[in-house]
Structure 1
Amino acid sequence: MLGLDMASCAFCDKSLSYEVRAKDLVDRLTLIEKAQQMGDHNGTDITRLGLPKYMWWSEALHGVADVGPEGGGVSYFDSVVPGATSFPNVILTAASFNQTLWKILGKVVSTEARAMYNLGRAGLTFWSPNINIVRDPRWGRVLETPGEDPFVAGTYAVNYVRGLQDIEGQEKTSDPNSRPLKVSACCKHFTAYDLEDFNGITRLVFNAKVAEQDMVETFNLPFEMCVKEGDVSSVMCSFNQVNGIPTCADPYLLKKLVREDWNLHGYIVADCDSVLEMVVRQKWLNSTGEDASAYSLKAGLDLDCGEYYTRFLPNAVKQGKVREADMDKSLNYLFVVLMRLGFFDGIPSLASLGKADICTKENTELAAEAARQGIVLLKNDNEALPLDPERFKSIALIGPHANATEVMIGNYAGVPCKYISPIEGFSAFGQVTYEMGCVDVRCPNDSLIHSAVDVAKNAEATLLFVGLSLAIEREWVDRKDLLLPGYQTHLVNEVAQAAKGPVILVVMAAGVLDISFAKVNPKIQSIIWVGYPGEQGGRAIADVVFGNYNPGGRLPLTWYEANYIDKLPMTSMSLRPTDKYPGRTYKFFNGSTVYPFGYGLSYTSFKYQNNSTEKSLDIKLDRLQHCHGLPYKDGNQNHDCPSVSINDLSCKEEITFDITVQNVGKRDGSDVILVYTVPPEGISGTPIKQLVRFERVYLHANESKSVKFVLNVCKSLNIVNVSGYRLLPSGLHKIVVGDISIPIKVNYNW
């Protein structure tokens, strides 16, 4: 129809490799056409080659979202596809510490996404997940992330990305660049990004001054895991500068680390308008549009979510600031990904997916199960929970989130299949009386508290639904404090004092809240944290409260006391304590907390046993393996060979041990085994402890299970020095699981 001689178009020849086909296509493009394919906001078709327009930006953070370019996203909902399953926001899903769940969620989201693509309602490239580390509890995007621990964030990324991308039976191929993709995932935002707006310093201009030690150990680790183990097909660079260089124009970060060292099989994309901001707000190197585009392309940025590449790359080539061959290389990466997705040829095994695969009964149940698994029980005095539905027939639901719907799905969301609000969820168990208590989540006055108190006086049980919302924590909006907003605390105290029956506090929020007042209030028997629990949140919360589900989630964040943020600005990037500021995250903060990282109760009790004795590792060095000094606190080197770089070791040594978990209570339930390592004593600047493995285990009442752990010595026992080298120290390490400590002695000899 277009008059094309298909036989002469090698890019249409399925017998050829994707690389050969992509090169043939790129070679046919003019300079202007090439630039048009490298900007997402104004992508265009090339009619003479039969190449349709492709828009790259879609989102699938916790379900298919209708977020995208201004004027309408690539993915959208209408009468054909009215909605898609909206799972809990990532921070709650992360609290499940269940790798299997994370991968299953990715699989289901990609099935719905591919079905929507087949129906013309979605793209194939989804810029999810967000795996930035929660360095500061004020950060507005906590809800999108797996929390503060880089190993947890990386493990989440690997599983969710594998769930999104992998096609069963084709998870591995001899050539990773030919591996078919169900959809394309994107790990973002690389790197050291975790600030929206602190005292007028926004993410668009922030220069994150970061030590190499923190880059290697914390900020880059999740991305390294995502690329190396998850085989993600895209990485997004962030707006901010790192040590004076915009991440999207930093050849060390993009070309050296992501592309070469980690061996990315895919493309690198800029956060939207990052290239523009180098010129407009950052005024980096007084760059013109041509300069910024050239710097970014030469640094390894393949796709501009914006218009600068399209507008300025042709002139940049003509001015000699960048080579057209650099554009060709990026276009090859982009077209190969599209070919792996079946954009050119289709993928027969996925062609039948359609409307029947979206919002299925199974997917809705998975949304409820994901929320249940993430919910964390923070307090349960005198076993007040679970409530007996035979005893508690009249229930008061009070608070700004007691009738939550849209709040539960947070941001980067689409249209859910069906909301189950707390009112609807609890109505399945008894007679519900509802009072808002506050006019909204900001709770600006006490005008509705009196009526809420009256309801609590007559109810057999009272549940207070408090917390935050996107009005207070979201992209572009960082928090000002760690307290419940407005009069919410007053509402809680007044209702708790007047309530006739047990009082349960339900905290619906992503970020840390200092609820010490409720923790110590004997009138508040139980507290549960529910994050933003997704479309089935009301049902999941009711199931936990009434004992249909035994909570087993653990906090993926340290819950600091409110005055913590008075001690340091958001702009201080150091994880380790300094002369001026306290440390950050459980790895480097040893002060008092409301609740520590990894905290969570259950309706039952678990006991750990381990019979391991001290293990010793004798590592023989040759003349090419050299010892490195370490900064000991007493100033003395305590070993002939303090440490060796893991790059110089074979790293084949493993530590194997078993933990026997016994459910010693009367209820079935899940326990999360958290395995930490502690470095040898006396070395300056090491973490207090660091998480290296975790496993969620389900046990019936009185059941025992033995869980085997195999730790690679280099990965699990290394520390990062101030220069960014990963070293394996000699001396006595410890593996800590609950109250069990397993000594591991590392010796070097020749």
Structure 2
Amino acid sequence: MTGTRKALAMAALATGTMLATTASAQLYRDPDAPVDKRAADIVGRLTLEEKAAQMQNAAPAVERLGIPPYDYWNEALHGVARSGEATVFPQAIGMAATFDRDLLYREGRTVAIEGRAKYNQAQRERNYDRYYGLTFWSPNINIFRDPRWGRGQETLGEDPYLTGTLATEFIKGVQGDDPHYLEAIATPKHYAVHSGPEKLRHEFNVDPSPRDLTETYLPAFRRTIVDGKARSLMCAYNAVDGTAACANERLMQDILRDDWGFTGFITSDCGAIDDILNGHHNADSMAEAAAMAVKAGTDSGCDFKDEMLALPEAVRKGHIDEAVMDRALERLFAARIRLGMFDPAERVPFSAIPFSANHSPAHRALALRAARESIVLLKNDGVLPIADSAGKIAVVGPAATALIGLEGNYNGTPVGAALPLDGIGQAFGTDRVAYAQGAPFAEQVPVMVPRTAFPGGLTATFYDNAEFAGDPVATKSVPAIDVNWSGVAPAPGVAPETFFVRWSGRIAPPAPGDYEFALDMRRGCNGGTGSRTYTIHIAGAPDHRVTRSCSGEESAAEPMTVHFADTKPRAFSVELAQRSAAPGSITFAWKAPLDALRDQAVQTARDADVVVAFVGLNAWLEGEEMPLEIPGFDGGDRTSIALPAAQRQLLDALEATGKPVVIVLQSGSAVALGDSGDRAGAVLQAWYPGEQGGRALGDVLSGKVNPSGRLPVTFYESVDELPPFTDYAMQGRTYRYFDGAVEYPFGHGLSYTDFAYSGLKLGAPTVTAGDTQTVSVTIRNTGRIAGDEVAQLYLSVPGRPATPIRSLKGYERVHLAPGERRTVSFTLDPRDLAFADDKGVMRIAPATYRLWIGGGQPDTGAPGVSGAFSLTGSLALPR
């Protein structure tokens, strides 16, 4: 917490007796009064300047009213994020690969429970900081229209139906079903038509066709508002039809509030109100920009530049009436009232949730279930599952031991995370498993120094001060230096923000040569003002000392270069003094000679019977607005979907050994493997699988768990097949509009067993516009082991111009024992049978509808059955 906010909070608490007396006469403190009247009562007591301040994400205390500070900015993309230890589920794109509504609902319930546990504890500690509130800025439901977008990993895929239905269940889970109170608030984002490029996000404009807007970019938002009853929404950075999204009255008022009946509050993306002025040039001053946003419906600003504080000036200059601000504030305070923030704790059922509910055994078990269901078997020639008779297993690749490969972005701290190498060792026995790093993720970017470089491992010794004073308070053995200590104590008895740690042992390179070393520290400080000093000692080389301040300034930042004349182990240590700053992620990284890493991996493969190659990307390569420009990557986005060259060369060398190779891809987006994938015996897509990812992968590779994930995005052969990244027209994009060859199609996923479909039944051969159609089919497990099948219903209307090639309109996950059969049913409602016309109207028209129900799309080799029915009459649906 910043000093200013602490002072405000403590001042409010210091006058508690007086405030309690005053509150008795305040309507907003009456838990039995109507919410709207309570909210209006608060707003009516605020001055103009206080009103503006309350419209920032970090709303300060109003001491005279007994209103404590509150920060609306909280994250929960795949578990409660950025507030310390929490259950870390697979990254959102991996959750989408489960095609499991129930699982998304349970993830949302976990977020609500852990969010309340953290909030309750924070309130007891007078902690009003960001990330400890109950208004979660999740889920991200933008359509992943192009695999180059670095933030696509945060989404639920490329399909509007899948995205909308999964997000709706997540939102229901987050917000709960109490008749009086919301357990938490979910915030679908970023509204609307937003999906990169990251470099242009503060200034680009999209002119979507009416058909694309209605058919692709808005349906998921509509579903989460109309069906999911989301109580908040975030508007996007970009402009739509020339007007910034956060000032776009057509989007925010006409569609969102008038057509869809949204009554919750809207927050801007961070700095998006500034973009109205400086990015899109829709306004001539900050006062005018803030006024435009509020008049359009933006109630709160994620303010990097105090944009909302310009509103008093906007009122005085006539840009906005104070009554419009009041309307926005009433929505904001209504949300806090519905969360129970102004009511006695005994009236709010969630106030009793203890901190021990955070990261509970049941939640960890759910994360394991999610990781298992998210893994997609893309290819298998019979090498999987790995048999007990296979003998020695070579695990190779940078992702096998990298913590960031589990986390993705917008994540909590994964205490006790299971890395892939450790999960495989647990599944098969560590004596059967040998490891080699083989390559970095990308040649130009340092990668963690692997555990194989530290014979005998390392000893981490901790002191409860930053001066290396007194006796150590904790000591533990670790295989390497790659940790995430965001918001957690590094060891028992060690303060999270001020401590000293020494890692010591021996270091041995895989081959002679020049190596660059540095201590990579990310996601630290968290608004603090402290500093970190580290010293690297390698025998025979000068010590390397670096000090980094939380202001971003850095001295002696050049990496340490060491020449190794041989591979003999030598004394090694890293000492880190952490002073009043959150440590974040800490990785001892190197740039090693590529040949040395690759040759070590090849030798490891030759000594094994089967090779499991962990390759892919990580959230330091693809993500949000990054200062990264290397081949294949640009500012967080990708310029190529091919595997980075160093990893392609590794796969080529491994496959040249003649040993069976299983490729495990960890990424947040499609990766084209090309010839490497063709030569591999099997390919698994594991995404960023969360805290239990390593254990889940060991279970799938060993056959303890039958893989059942499905691709929520298309894996193209290359970006050369796609329109320009900046082109938002849907023609030629996603499975719905792309008719070329692909490596793996949307909906694809194999199993260790086989399934057959039969007995397709329609409710009626002809349906009248406005009526529903029912469909059922029988699925049988024809194989020898139990497994989950994901039945997918696709609909197409041949001959109707400009409609998608096909569209997902239903899915159902079923578990079947060998020989077991089950009938699954689907109901197609009028909106499922409607397609957008050229004016953007969702319209039902006479046609013959063709449908397919199967384990993937038709004509992809997936089992399934097809049918058809006629539709008569016409009907235009409300927007």
Check whether the contact 1:104–1:163 (CA below 8 A) recurs between aligned residues.
Answer: yes
Change in CA separation of 1:153 and 1:611 when aligned onto 2, cut-off 3 Å: closer
Match of 2:378 in 1: 378
1:87 maps to which of 84, 89, 96: 89
Q: CA 1:368–1:614 in structure 2 vs 1: closer, same or farther (change >3 Å)?
A: closer
The whole-number CA distance in structure 2 between the counterparts of 1:181 and 1:264 is 16
Q: 1:617 to 1:316 in 2, by over 3 A?
A: same
| Distance (whole Å) between structure 1 residues aligned to residue 606 and residue 762 of structure 2 | 57
Whether 2:666 is the aligned partner of 1:508: answer yes
* Match in the other structure for 1:669: 787
- 1:437 aligns to 2:595 (yes or no): no
1:545 equivalenced with 2:728 (yes/no): no
For residue 643 of structure 1, what is the aligned residue in structure 2?
none
Asked if 2 retains the 8 angstrom alpha-carbon contact of 1:462 and 1:499, the reply is no
Q: Which residue of 2 aligns with 1:479?
A: 638
Partner of 2:165: 155
- Is residue 684 of structure 1 aligned with residue 801 of structure 2? yes
Q: Which residue of 1 aligns with 2:386?
A: 387
Distance in structure 1 (CA, Å) of the matches to 2:650 and 2:844: 53
> Does the CA-based 8 Å contact 1:400-1:466 persist in structure 2?
yes
SS in 1 for 2:831: helix
Query: Unpaired runs of 5+ in structure 2?
Result: 1-16, 446-593, 626-635, 855-863
User: 2 CA distance for matches of 1:558 and 1:542?
Assistant: 26
Match of 2:845 in 1: 729
Rounded Cα–Cα distance in structure 2 between residues aligned with 1:248 and 1:384: 52
Secondary structure (helix, strand or coil) at the match of 1:487 reads: helix
CA drift of 1:406 comes to 2.6
- Structure 2 residue 701 is the aligned partner of structure 1 residue 590: no
Indicate the SS of the match to 2:819: coil
In structure 1, the residue corresponding to 2:93 is in which secondary structure? helix
Query: Is the partner of 2:216 in helix, strand or coil?
Result: helix
Match for residue 302 of structure 1 among 279, 299, 313: 299
Alignment partner, residue 265 of structure 2: 267
8 Å Cα contact 2:120/2:355 also seen in 1 = no
Answer whether contact 1:614 1:742 (CA < 8 A) is retained: no
* 2:580 is the counterpart of 1:452: no
Q: Are positions 1:343 and 2:333 aligned together?
A: no
Q: Which runs of 5+ in 1 are unaligned?
A: 67-75, 78-82, 174-178, 577-582, 620-648
1:392–1:461 CA contact under 8 A, matched in 2? yes
Aligned partners of 1:256 and 1:354: how far apart in 2?
42
Cα RMSD (Å): 1.7
Q: What letter matches 1:570 in structure 2? A: F
User: After superposition, where does 1:287-436 map in structure 2 within 5 Å?
Assistant: 287-306=284-303, 307-345=305-343, 346=345, 348-381=348-381, 383-388=382-387, 390-428=388-426, 429-430=428-429, 431=431, 432-436=433-437
CA distance in 2, matches of 1:61, 1:618: 40
SS in 2 for 1:368: helix
Find the counterpart in structure 1 of residue 36 from structure 2: 19
Name the residue aligned to 1:467. Answer: 616
Q: Does 1:104 align with 2:260?
A: no
Asked whether 1:599 is paired with 2:754, we answer no
1:46 maps to 2:62: yes
Q: C-alpha separation between the residues in 1 aligned to 2:197 and 2:170?
A: 25
| Contact 2:189/2:236, CA 8 A, preserved across alignment | yes
**1:228 is aligned to 2:226:** yes
Shift of residue 278 of structure 1? Answer: 1.6
Per mean C-alpha deviation after superposition, the further-off stretch among 607-616 and 12-21 is 607-616
Q: Is the 8 A contact 1:446 1:487 kept in 2?
A: no
2-structure distance, mates of 1:435, 1:269: 47
Task: State the alpha-carbon separation in 2 of the partners of residues 613 and 299 from structure 1.
Answer: 46
Q: Which residue is 1:744 aligned to?
A: 869
Query: What CA distance in whole angstroms lies between the structure 1 residues aligned with 2:853 and 2:661?
Result: 33
Partner of 2:116: 114
Secondary structure of 1:545 counterpart: helix
Structure 1 residues 93-150: Cα deviation after superposition (integer angstroms, max 9, x where no partner): 1101010011011101211111011100621111011010011110001111110001
Alpha-carbon distance, 1:282 to partner: 2.5
CA distance in structure 1 between the aligned counterparts of 2:43 and 2:168, rounded to whole angstroms: 32
Using the alignment, how far apart are the partners of 1:731 and 1:275 within structure 2? 46
Out of 626, 643, 655, the position equivalent to 2:773 is 655
User: 1:417: how far off?
Assistant: 2.4
Worse overlay, 457-466 or 598-607? 457-466
The one-letter amino acid paired with 2:774 is T
Q: Deviations over 1:390-426 (max 9, x none)?
A: 3234221101111122321110012112111111111
1-structure distance, mates of 2:370, 2:183: 22
Aligned to 1:704: 821
The residue identity in structure 1 corresponding to 2:725 is M
User: 1:6 and 1:484 mapped to 2: Cα distance?
Assistant: 61
Residue 702 (structure 1) shift = 0.8
Q: Aligned with 1:740: secondary structure? A: strand
How far did residue 611 of structure 1 move?
4.0
For residue 729 of structure 2, the aligned residue among 554, 574, 580 is 574
Whether the aligned pair in 2 keeps the contact of 1:544 and 1:551 (CA below 8 Å) is yes
1:225-279 deviations in Å (ceiling 9; x for gaps): 0101111110100000011110000111111211221112310110011011221
C-alpha distance in 2, partners of 1:465/1:559? 18
Tell me, in whole angstroms, the C-alpha distance in 1 between the residues paired with 2:442 and 2:420: 16
Which structure is higher in strand share? 2
For 2:842 and 2:668, locate their aligned partners in 1 and report how far apart those are by CA, in whole Å: 33
Q: SS of the residue aligned with 1:612?
A: strand
* TM score, norm. by length of structure 2: 0.75
Q: Percent identity?
A: 36
3-state SS, counterpart of residue 164 of structure 1: helix
Partner of 2:466: none
Read off the aligned partner of 1:506 and give its amino acid letter. Answer: V
Quote the Cα distance in structure 2 between the aligned partners of 1:608 and 1:51: 60
- Asked if the contact 1:459/1:499 (under 8 Å) is kept, the reply is no
Paired residues of 1:443 and 1:485 also in contact (CA < 8 A): no
Q: Secondary structure at the match of 1:351?
A: helix
Measured at CA, do residues 540 and 140 of structure 1 come closer, stay the same or move farther in structure 2, by a change above 3 Å?
same
Q: How many Å separate the matches in 1 of 2:609 and 2:191? A: 51
Structure 2 residue aligned with 1:181:
182
Cα separation, 2, equivalents of 1:274 and 1:563: 30
Question: TM-score with structure 1 length normalisation?
Answer: 0.88
- 1:705 & 1:19 partners in 2: Cα distance? 49
Which residue type is aligned with residue 118 of structure 1?
N
Contact 1:718–1:727 (Cα < 8 Å) also in 2: yes
SS in 2 for 1:672: strand
Paired residue for 1:70? none
Question: Tell me, what secondary structure is at the counterpart of 1:15?
Answer: coil
Shift of 1:442: 4.2
Q: Distance in 1 between matches of 2:760 and 2:210?
A: 39
The alignment status of 1:141 with 2:296, answered yes or no, reads no
Distance 2:785 2:77 in 1: 34
Preserved CA contact (<8 Å) 1:135 1:194: yes
Between the aligned partners of 1:89 and 1:591, the Cα distance in structure 2 is 28
> Does the Cα contact within 8 Å between 1:231 and 1:265 map onto a contact in 2?
no
Q: CA deviation at 1:749?
A: 9.4
Aligned partner of 2:697: which letter? I
- For residue 128 of structure 1, what is the aligned residue in structure 2? 138
